[in-house]
Structure 1
Amino acid sequence: MSATTQKNPASAGGDDFSLKAILPPLMAIIVGMIMVILDSTVVNNAIPKLVEYFDTDLKTIQWTVTGYTLALSAVIPLAGWLTDKFGSKQIFMITIALFTIGSVLCGIAQTPEQLILYRIIQGLGGGMVAPIGMAMVFKLAPPERRGSIMGVLGIPMLMAPAFGPVLSGWLVDSVSWHWIFIINLPIGIIALILGYKYLPKSDRHSAPHLDVIGMCLAPIAFSMLAYGVSEGGTSWSSTSTLTGLIVGGVALILFIIVELRQKQPLLELKVFKSSDFTRSIILVWIVQLALFGAMLIVPLYLQGVMHYSALETGWILMPQALCAGIGMPISGRLFDKIGARPLAFAGLTAVSVALFILSGISVDTSLWVIILCICIMGLGMGFSMMPLNTHVLNSAPRRLVSRVTPLTTAAQQVVVSFAVAGLTGYLTSQITSHAASAGANANPLDAVVAGYGDTFFLSACIATAGVALTLILRKPRQLKEEDITGGENPDPAMMVGH
């Protein structure tokens, strides 16, 4: 460690550790992650206004979302190598700066093509913020306190999406759509100042090998799969959908083959040899399939069937995030004592119950029933997501944490895309099916509501499968002395990388 490298709070023993010691660097990471997560939610509410302002169609403006998502998924796999090469603090600061610059450019865009291009620039910066930030937070605390710290980190990760639609609705209606992007400028500056001052410095390391083939295949695989899934929301049999899925699938297979043969892989896929890791990450994917798909369906129902505005929908959804925020720190503290298995079981059971209730939805269902269900889902999310994510990291060898975090983040990005596009496509097909079987004299709204009920039922079944899988979840076998002495693991002062 260089003489100028700040002391890492995690190097202190568990008895000497305190949240106050890591609060400044933790705040730098949280502010940066909030900015990126907020931006992922605010644009959806502004789509109709952007169509009107640029005098274009929805298909064109939708690329402001699709292009951003593609850029996110393309750069996530590069986070591990870049932090190994240049240090986590340096790359984290660069990505925040790039995202902030992209935000300002979006705010002054004059054409839809410019806005799409600038959103891609945003995505190139924002894609690495989450994996790098989570790996840094993971190494800020000693093993016995990681659950609590990850629980604290989880609060803004869930609160930001809740306030995003509300903030977007207010800015678009009361100020201007430009400000949903320009508002990132002061937030980005604050994150850069905090990061420069408080993030522990990490030395640069010479990377003996750059996985060029993997570096080329990974963006192709993840971006084309994301593109195919995005297009699949309209039609799973269209040429664009099939092209994206086939090209992305072939690239992904080649990428896996290359990575398994590399001595210095871009993503450490050998970690899947750990049965504990594999079981826990599959469970995380199931939770995301059930939760994130349903989180899209609920606002669609509120706006499309119950005719609430986007701003009103944001306020209605807020209790869900508040309940998740309540559950996060509680589950974090309990994780340190009892592990992930009972928490994941309780959380997923709550989600399953809420979704099964929503599957019986009808035109006469009260708004309060929906609010109750989404609150239960929020608590379930709060009790399951962060313990499972922490369990995934604990299941991997500590020396591979910097490589595992980009792997899990990239995979989760693709899974969420499949959840959103898959459930949207299922919803559309079920509505069409119910309308066709009901006949010409039936109330069209009944077919729509029945389609939503079927979609909630599918999500409930997925969540129930997750409940069953929690029963085989085990506490990872770890050598405690490796976390104390370091063994072959990296210096704890290094947030990510060697």
Structure 2
Amino acid sequence: MKKILPILLAVATGMFLIILDSTIMNVAVPKLVDTFHSNLGTIQWVITAYTLALSAVIPLAGWFSDRFTPKVMFLSSIVLFILASLLCALAQTPEQLIIFRIIQALGGGMVAPIGIAMVFKVSPPDKRGSVMGILGIPMLLAPIFGPILSGWLIEFINWHWIFLINLPVGIIAFWMAWRYLPASKPGKEMKLDVLGAILAPIAFASLVFSVHQAGEKGWIDEWTLGSLGLGVVTLLLFIWNELKQKHPLLELRVFRSKTFTHGIILAWMNQMALFGSILLFTLYLQQAKGLSPLEAGLYVIPQAIMSTIGINVGGKLFDRYGVRPIAFVGILSLAGALFALTHITTSTSAFYIMSSFAFVGLGQGLTMMQLNTHVLKSAPIELVNRVTPITTSAQQIMSSFGITITAAYLSNQIRSLPAQHTLEQLGQAFGHTFWITLSFALIALVLTFFLKKSSAPPKKTR
């Protein structure tokens, strides 16, 4: 364990940098609208364009990692991300900021899939739950502390620092990766699946765009339907192409494993419940309770604490008892907390809200990385580089689905309120919307009964 700790910390720092930046932007949108004298629709593209570029580049991570080595690609990604962050801080127009955010995503998109694959490979098989649990800490804490840090920087310094903060963190991440990540020989014989490399970015970016567009314009909007159609068609063509390739871009053959398929569907339901709920937390605290971004961020500190406890305990229990009992307890905690949140109003006490958030955090900690580890363990070890982009891409899409479905239902609830509605009625609309995220959690809870204890990875499928 001591031997791989430096590698683990290096990857965790890089992942924290990327995920923190992804979440820090949400709170900054109103400030950027005022700063650039723009409108919400335009500034929203600062987030949307980043997400689209992220979705496009993630599928390529496996091939680049095999061809140029994981360490080289990890370092290159961090450097590109740091340079793009500096450009974002210097942006003078919304258009410049959108372009620089796309460059940021092209660098940041490969960090997580490459980093997770590296750590998984060097971890002792009997300690993978504990190791991956530690790696999951930045994945859980960054989305929680991102809004707090963003609110503080905007309120007490200026918006430029939400990007400049990436420089010192990025330099530390680069140094740790350069110093501790293991070097390996590039696979020069690896041929690029050119058609797959063209189809994958189009398919994943189109699907994510359609979900974002549906959240703003509805599912019957022509842009929504057009991008959804393009995404589905190119995804089917991509799947057909990958299954007949000797060296596919993404190793889709792992879906022949029932353990892998069941595990990843369960993870999707869990992610939709989690990310939809996190969106509601922020909106409820600021719109219904009237809190500032910084005050709203402080409310989720118990969630962060319980996430950290859950992920450390969950990793050790995973190694000892397998995934099923941990996933059941974690998702039960999440579902119970979401059920409690269906009863919130604007007059709900701070203790009730923070306690509910804390149990959501416990559920996050116990399930998120443990399910991911379970899915990776069901794949042959030599295919992990090509499997982590699948899980990361799917997480990006399913998280977007969860957020969009939740936001659309909330918007419908608010539109159905009287024109002169009270804050109490607004609070009830948020409570009703938590039933949507609860439904995803309940589906995930049912699926946990069909999990089997983790076993040795299967032989490579052909």
TM category, shorter? over 0.9
Q: Distance in 2 between matches of 1:76 and 1:455?
A: 31
Query: 1:90: Cα distance to partner?
Result: 0.5
Which residue in 2 is equivalent to 1:319? Answer: 302
Q: Distance in 2 between matches of 1:443 and 1:69?
A: 34
Decide whether the 8 Å contact of 1:428 with 1:451 is kept in 2. no
Which residue in 2 is equivalent to 1:283? Answer: 266
State the Cα deviation string for residues 16-73 of structure 1 (Å, max 9, x = none): xx3x212222221111111101101111111111111111111111111001111111
Matches within 5 A, 1:357-372: 357-372=340-355
Matches within 5 A, 1:42-441: 42-236=24-218, 237-433=220-416, 435=417
Q: Distance in 1 between matches of 2:409 and 2:175?
A: 46
Query: 1:479: Cα distance to partner?
Result: 6.0
Query: 1:220: Cα distance to partner?
Result: 0.6
Q: Distance in 1 between matches of 2:68 and 2:135?
A: 25
Poorly superposed stretches of 4+, deviation over 6 Å: none
Letter in 1 for 2:37: D
Query: 1:425: Cα distance to partner?
Result: 0.5
Which residue in 2 is equivalent to 1:473? Answer: 451
Give the 3-state SS of the residue equivalent to 1:233 in structure 2: helix
Identity %: 52
Q: Distance in 2 between matches of 1:274 and 1:188?
A: 38
Q: Distance in 2 between matches of 1:25 and 1:253?
A: 37
Q: Distance in 2 between matches of 1:451 and 1:459?
A: 14
Q: Distance in 2 between matches of 1:113 and 1:207?
A: 40
From the superposition, tell whether residues 127 and 422 of structure 1 become closer, same or farther in structure 2 (CA, over 3 Å): same
Tell which structure's C-alpha radius of gyration is larger.
1
Decide whether the 8 Å contact of 2:141 with 2:304 is kept in 1. yes
Query: 1:444: Cα distance to partner?
Result: 4.1
With normalisation by structure 1, the TM-score equals: 0.90
Decide whether the 8 Å contact of 1:431 with 1:450 is kept in 2. no
Letter in 1 for 2:290: H
Task: Indicate whether 1:451 and 2:429 are aligned.
Answer: yes
Query: 1:452: Cα distance to partner?
Result: 1.6
Q: Distance in 2 between matches of 1:130 and 1:208?
A: 22
Q: Which moved more, 1:93-102 or 1:353-362?
A: 353-362
Decide whether the 8 Å contact of 1:339 with 1:387 is kept in 2. no
State the Cα deviation string for residues 376-421 of structure 1 (Å, max 9, x = none): 1100111111111110011111121111101110011000011111
Q: Distance in 2 between matches of 1:252 and 1:448?
A: 39
Q: Distance in 1 between matches of 2:281 and 2:181?
A: 39
**Alignment match of 2:440 (pick from 440, 457, 462):** 462
How many residue pairs match? The answer is 460
State the Cα deviation string for residues 217-250 of structure 1 (Å, max 9, x = none): 1101111111111111112222222222111111
State the Cα deviation string for residues 61-111 of structure 1 (Å, max 9, x = none): 111100111111100000001111111001111111111111010011111
Structure 1 unaligned runs (5+)? Answer: 1-17, 483-487, 490-498
Q: Distance in 1 between matches of 2:423 and 2:125?
A: 53
Decide whether the 8 Å contact of 2:377 with 2:457 is kept in 1. no
Letter in 1 for 2:333: A
> What is the CA RMSD across the aligned residues, in angstroms?
1.6
Decide whether the 8 Å contact of 1:362 with 1:449 is kept in 2. yes
Task: Indicate whether 1:38 and 2:13 are aligned.
Answer: no
Give the 3-state SS of the residue equivalent to 1:139 in structure 2: helix
Decide whether the 8 Å contact of 1:235 with 1:425 is kept in 2. no
Letter in 2 for 1:465: I
State the Cα deviation string for residues 108-133 of structure 1 (Å, max 9, x = none): 11111110000000000001100001
Q: Distance in 2 between matches of 1:135 and 1:82?
A: 13
Structure 2 unaligned runs (5+)? Answer: none
Q: Distance in 2 between matches of 1:446 and 1:75?
A: 44
Letter in 2 for 1:125: G
Decide whether the 8 Å contact of 2:321 with 2:453 is kept in 1. no
Q: Distance in 2 between matches of 1:191 and 1:304?
A: 36
Query: 1:432: Cα distance to partner?
Result: 2.2
Letter in 1 for 2:148: V
Q: Distance in 2 between matches of 1:255 and 1:268?
A: 12
With normalisation by structure 2, the TM-score equals: 0.97
Query: 1:312: Cα distance to partner?
Result: 0.7
Give the 3-state SS of the residue equivalent to 2:30 in structure 1: helix
Query: 1:475: Cα distance to partner?
Result: 2.5
Query: 1:446: Cα distance to partner?
Result: 4.5
Letter in 1 for 2:160: H
